[in-house]
């Protein structure tokens, strides 16, 4: 596979992922961003933890969808993330999840 074919494949995969995101965003309440992933979920709990003087975040999500084009299954019943980096949680409003008319 040439570099050009690989790039075209990745572009198509990302477009497919975006379309899937657009189709499912309306069934979720929260957007969660970590340093490694982007999630949609219906429940989220973030706890700051301290161990050996280091602070990290424990993020628990229920009924989640993961933005990752390399995962064969993007839906997960429960997700737990541990990170030393920032975590951003936003509650989605109805207007954010409405799809524009074609």
Q: What average pLDDT is seen over the chain?
A: 90
What pLDDT score was predicted for residue 50? Answer: 95
Output phi, psi for 70, to 5 deg: -95, -5
Residue 71 has pLDDT above 50, yes or no: yes
Per the domain annotation, does 17 fall within a domain?
Answer: yes
Range of the domain at 31: 3-92
Rounded to whole angstroms, what are the CA distances from 18 to 7, 12, 70? 16, 10, 13
Domain count, the chain: 1
Per the domain annotation, does 21 fall within a domain?
Answer: yes
Per the domain annotation, does 101 fall within a domain?
Answer: no
pLDDT digits (tens, 9 = 90+) for 5-44: 888 988 998 999 999 999 999 999 999 999 999 999 999 9
What pLDDT score was predicted for residue 98? Answer: 53
Per the domain annotation, does 100 fall within a domain?
Answer: no
pLDDT digits (tens, 9 = 90+) for 72-101: 889 999 999 999 999 999 999 865 555 543
């Amino acid at each position: 596979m040439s570099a050009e074919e690989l790039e075209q494949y990745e572009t198509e995969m990302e477009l497919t992922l975006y379309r899937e995101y657009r189709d499912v965003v309306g069934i979720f309440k929260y957007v969660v961003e970590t340093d490694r992933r982007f999630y949609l979920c219906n429940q989220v709990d973030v706890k700051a933890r301290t161990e050996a003087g280091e602070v990290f975040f424990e993020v628990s999500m229920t009924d989640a969808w993961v933005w990752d084009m390399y995962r064969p299954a993007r839906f997960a019943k429960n997700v737990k993330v541990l990170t030393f980096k920032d975590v951003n949680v936003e509650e989605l409003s109805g207007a954010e999840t409405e799809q524009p008319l074609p």
